[in-house]
């Protein structure tokens, strides 16, 4: 079994109004589930809220094969996907069986066995500034059937997941959002962006350094063994990345359905450094009409070092018989334009908020990351849902390490910020400056030049970025 990264006692520092049973210990393992998330009791508040509308809130058992398949059908329908093939259904079952899966059911519906709303979640690590990570609760697969709008279902699901996150001892909850207007009411805020990078192959001339290692073509099945370790190192480099689960690597490398048309078009390459150690990989495909130049597309480039990142980018953009390269879910701060003679060969489009973060335990969350400079701030945090409300003194030493403590009354004196839980989530990874939110009247400084200090403290050496959907 891989080494334990952290062990977090669920009974530690939960708010006084918590009714959660603090009996589970969350031990996050690299590449594996830390504990069975289904062992958390079903949230009674969410259950009661849905029951008032004649709906049933259920935690699914992964051994209930028929129930899980109906849930998968509902989730695909909710995202307007086609009905899954058998191979995709089997893959979805394997992923969902490692998560906490909820469905909302209407006993009076024409198909009462199919949920009218879905959500799943699991405990995982979120990378934060300083090459560290924080225990987080990832929320996914949130759908509500259009036949059941305006019944409080989404609210019950999201508030239930926040309760589950606290039960798991997570310091933050997080999600990737298809719509930007839904999750703010629950305290989530955009904390890391992603963009589409398009490169005009005809204008590319590499002026960056040569990498000391080399790029190899490899079989996807052979790469699968080395991929998790490379991905773990790559994730640790960038705030906003989350631990990868095995299924996402199988999907990216085309191993879920190796004989399918999509998988057969995937090519995999690996970068080995000058010592022969694997430090990065990419999976890409080239789409083209017969006898016409193609277009190279990828959304999975994983680099544990800067050399690996540069070498893989160079390999991908210097392909012959290709007119352009399109990369999705890339950082808004890519180094690529600075590696080309003509930086205008690179265009950045579809810039979106991507990772949304919700702080649940400010003390644990703020302690987890490293800071840009030393200093002391008192953070007066408001939270309508009550999970993270309070005043907290953040003290950072010369090495960027933080101590955080709750303060009250006269102990809360000193320079600080008044902000809401959304604003705290937005600045947490360093992707949004506190002073920018102050210009939008969303953060208030309590003493002159506090914002100058706050900008420097919350700055991140690397722009936050999340390169996957979850």
Give the pLDDT confidence of 99-117 residue by residue, as tens digits. Answer: 999 999 999 999 999 999 9
The yes-or-no verdict on residue 289 having pLDDT over 90 is no
Q: Is residue 137 part of a domain?
A: yes
Which of 353, 378, 408 delimits the end of a domain? 353
Q: Are residues 201 and 279 in the same domain?
A: yes
Q: Is residue 463 part of a domain?
A: no
pLDDT at position 34 is 54
The yes-or-no verdict on residue 18 having pLDDT over 80 is no
Per-residue 3-state assignment (H helix, E strand, C coil) for the chain: CCCEEEEEECCCCCCCCCCCCCCCEEEEECCECCCCHHHCCCCHHHHHHHHCCCCEEEECCCCCHHHHHHHHHHHHHHCCCCCCCHHHHHHHHHHHCCCEEEEEECCCCCCCCCCCEEEEEEEEEEEECCCEEEEEEEEEEEEECHHHCCCCHHHHHHHHHHHHHHHCCCCEEEEECCCCCCCHHHCCEEEEEEEEEEEEHHHCCECCCCCCCEEEEECHHHHHHHHHHHHHHHHHHCCCCECCCHHHHHHHCCCCCCCCHHHHCCEEEEEECCCCCEEEEEEEEEECCCCCCEEEEEEEEEECCHHHHHHHHHHHHCCCCEEEEEEEEECCCCCHHHHECCHHHEEEEEEEEEEEEEECCHHHHHHHCCCCCCEEEEEEEECCCCCCCEEEEEEECCCCCEEEEECCHHHHCCCEEEEEHHHHHHHHCCCCCHHHHHHCCCEEECCCCHHHHHHHHHCCCCCCECCCCC
Contact (CB, 8 A) for 411 and 395: no
Q: Which of 173, 188, 178 is nearest to 141 (CA)?
A: 178
Which of 305, 337, 353 delimits the end of a domain? 353
Structure-token match 């079989």, residue found: 219
Q: Which of 228, 138, 127 is nearest to 462 (CA)?
A: 127
Distance CA 209, CA 197 (A): 21
The yes-or-no verdict on residue 446 having pLDDT over 60 is yes
pLDDT at position 22 is 28
Contact (CB, 8 A) for 371 and 458: yes
Structure-token match 């706050």, residue found: 454
- Pairing of the two strands 390-396 and 402-406: antiparallel
Q: In what order do the strands lie in the sheet with 322-330?
A: 56-59, 100-105, 117-128, 132-144, 172-176, 346-359, 189-200, 322-330, 294-303, 278-287, 267-272, 214-218
Distance CA 318, CA 338 (A): 16
Q: How far is CA 429 from CA 129, 178, 190, 242, 433, in A?
A: 6, 21, 10, 13, 10
pLDDT at position 112 is 98
Q: Are residues 331 and 405 in the same domain?
A: no
Q: What is the mean pLDDT of residues 358-363?
A: 98
Dihedral sign (CA 441, 447, 452, 453): negative
> Mean pLDDT lowest for which of 12-21, 28-37, 125-134?
12-21
Q: Are residues 154 and 243 in the same domain?
A: no
Quick check: is 470 catalytic? yes
Q: Are residues 163 and 106 in the same domain?
A: yes
Q: Are residues 343 and 367 in the same domain?
A: no
Catalytic residue among 91, 105, 183, 281: 183
Tokens of 403: 């101590």
pLDDT category at 36 given cuts 50, 70, 90 is confident
Contact (CB, 8 A) for 376 and 415: yes
291: left (phi over 0), alpha (psi -120 to 50) or beta: left
pLDDT at position 295 is 97
Q: What is the mean pLDDT of residues 241-249?
A: 95
pLDDT at position 406 is 97
Mean pLDDT of the chain: 92
Give the structural domain span for 408: 361-458
Q: Are residues 334 and 211 in the same domain?
A: yes
Q: Are residues 264 and 343 in the same domain?
A: yes
pLDDT category at 33 given cuts 50, 70, 90 is very low
Q: Are residues 63 and 123 in the same domain?
A: yes
pLDDT at position 413 is 82
Count: domains in the chain: 3
pLDDT category at 337 given cuts 50, 70, 90 is very high
Using alpha carbons only, what angle is made at residue 371 by residues 366 and 377, rounded to the nearest 5 degrees?
A: 65
CA count, 13 A, side-chain hemisphere, 61? 4
Q: Is residue 183 part of a domain?
A: no
Burial 19-58 (b: 16+ CB within 10 A, else e): ebeeebebbbbbeebbbebbebeebeebbebbeeeebebb
The yes-or-no verdict on residue 13 having pLDDT over 60 is no
CATH number of the CATH domain containing 424: 3.30.1050.10
Q: Are residues 258 and 389 in the same domain?
A: no
pLDDT at position 68 is 98
The yes-or-no verdict on residue 30 having pLDDT over 80 is no
pLDDT category at 140 given cuts 50, 70, 90 is very high
Q: Is residue 464 part of a domain?
A: no
Q: Are residues 280 and 381 in the same domain?
A: no
Please give the annotated binding residues for acetyl-CoA, written as ranges. Answer: 142-144, 150-155, 178-179
Distance CA 214, CA 308 (A): 9
Structure-token match 């999201």, residue found: 158
Distance CA 430, CA 438 (A): 15
Quick check: is 271 catalytic? no
Q: What is the mean pLDDT of residues 120-146?
A: 98
Q: Is residue 187 part of a domain?
A: no
Q: Which residues is 419 bridged to in the sheet?
A: 381, 443
Distance CA 412, CA 134 (A): 26
Catalytic residue among 35, 295, 315, 470: 470
Who contacts 414 (Cβ-Cβ below 8 Å, separation ≥6)? Answer: 376, 377, 378, 393, 447
pLDDT category at 180 given cuts 50, 70, 90 is confident
Q: Are residues 93 and 111 in the same domain?
A: yes
Distance CA 209, CA 456 (A): 31
Which of 107, 136, 170 delimits the end of a domain? 170
**Higher-scoring residue by pLDDT: 37, 63:** 63
Q: Are residues 346 and 377 in the same domain?
A: no
């Amino acid at each position: 079994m891989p080494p334990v990264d952290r062990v977090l006692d669920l009974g530690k520092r939960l708010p006084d109004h918590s009714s959660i049973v603090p009996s589970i210990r969350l031990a996050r393992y690299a590449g594996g589930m830390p504990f069975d998330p289904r062992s958390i009791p079903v949230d009674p508040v969410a259950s009661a809220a849905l029951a008032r509308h004649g709906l049933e809130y259920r935690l699914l058992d992964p051994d209930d094969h028929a129930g899980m398949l109906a849930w998968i059908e509902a989730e695909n329908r909710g995202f307007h996907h086609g009905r899954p093939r058998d191979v995709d259904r089997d893959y979805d079952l394997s992923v969902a069986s490692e998560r906490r899966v909820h469905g909302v059911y209407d006993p009076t519906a024409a198909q009462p066995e199919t949920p009218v709303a879905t959500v799943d979640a699991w405990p995982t690590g979120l990378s934060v500034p300083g090459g560290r990570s924080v225990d987080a609760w990832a929320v996914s697969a949130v759908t509500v059937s259009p036949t059941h709008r305006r019944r409080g279902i989404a609210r019950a699901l999201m508030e239930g997941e926040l309760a589950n996150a606290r039960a798991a001892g997570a310091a933050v909850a997080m999600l990737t959002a298809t719509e930007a207007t839904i999750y703010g009411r629950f305290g989530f805020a955009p904390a890391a962006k992603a963009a589409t990078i398009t490169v005009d192959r005809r204008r590319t001339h590499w002026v960056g350094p040569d990498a000391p290692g080399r790029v190899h073509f490899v079989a996807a099945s052979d790469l699968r063994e080395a991929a998790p370790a490379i991905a773990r190192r790559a994730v640790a480099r960038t705030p906003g990345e989350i631990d990868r689960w095995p299924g996402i690597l199988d999907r990216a490398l085309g191993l879920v359905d190796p004989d399918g048309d999509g998988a057969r078009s995937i090519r995999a390459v690996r970068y080995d450094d000058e010592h022969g150690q694997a430090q990065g990989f990419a999976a890409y495909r080239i789409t083209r009409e017969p006898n016409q130049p193609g277009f190279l597309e990828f959304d999975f480039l994983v680099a544990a070092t800067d050399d690996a990142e540069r070498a893989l980018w160079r390999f991908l953009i210097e392909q012959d018989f290709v007119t352009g390269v399109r990369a999705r879910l890339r950082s808004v701060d890519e180094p690529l334009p600075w590696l080309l003679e003509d930086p205008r060969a690179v265009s950045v489009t579809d810039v979106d908020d991507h990772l949304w973060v919700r702080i649940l335990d400010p003390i644990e969350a703020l302690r987890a990351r490293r800071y840009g400079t030393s200093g002391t701030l008192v953070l007066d945090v408001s939270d309508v849902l009550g999970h993270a409300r309070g005043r907290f003194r953040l003290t950072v030493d010369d090495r960027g390490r933080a101590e955080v403590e709750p303060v009250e009354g006269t102990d809360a004196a000193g320079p600080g910020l008044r902000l809401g839980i959304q604003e705290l989530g937005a600045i947490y990874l360093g992707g949004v400056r506190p002073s920018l939110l102050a210009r939008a009247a969303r953060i208030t400084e309590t003493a002159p030049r506090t914002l100058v200090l706050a900008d420097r403290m919350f700055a991140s050496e690397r722009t936050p970025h999340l390169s996957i959907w979850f």
